[in-house]
Amino acid sequence: VIQSGGEGEAFARRVENLFKRLARQVLVERTDHHLRTLGQRPVKVSIADTKSRWGSCSPHNRSIRYSWRVIMAPPAVADYLAAHEVAHLVHADHSPAYWSVVQRLVGDHRPFRKWLRENGPALHAVGR
């Protein structure tokens, strides 16, 4: 239950801002956890409102960008997303070696990817 003052657009803005704060908190914590597991240096994390992608990693400038909308997914899916992006610091592709890093971090990635495929459009539709 989310309680907030405001009506219409003001309420919607407050809820979106809450989700963005929660997303930053959760995704920074999970990113840091996976970075430590892999012995990687810290990265710059940003939260955005992307139209279709859940995250992106730029290994050359050590930055990861996440969609705030993933905070509406189950916590294990958000954790998978953090692992997925951190693994790109080791392998900047989706090769078998890359997926082995993801598996080391979260185990079988397929249920998380399936959840995003099946439920992602509903998350991207929130507030639009």
> Model confidence over 42-94: pLDDT tens digits?
999 999 998 889 999 999 999 999 999 999 999 999 999 999 999 999 999 99
| Amino acid making up residue 7 | E
**Total structural domains in the chain?**
1
Establish if 30 belongs to a structural domain: yes
pLDDT category at 13 given cuts 50, 70, 90 is: confident
Helix (H) or strand (E) holding 94: none
Buried b / exposed e across 64-77, counting CB within 10 Å, b at 16+?
A: bbbbbbbbebeeeb
* Domain CATH code at residue 107: 3.30.2010.10
Task: Please report whether residue 118 resides in a domain.
Answer: yes
Asked if residue 4 belongs to a domain, the reply is no
Total-model pTM: 0.92
Per-residue pLDDT of 15-29, as tens digits, reads 899 999 999 999 999
Q: What is the pLDDT of residue 128?
A: 66
Q: Does residue 36 have a pLDDT over 90? A: yes
Domain holding 61, by residue range, is 9-125
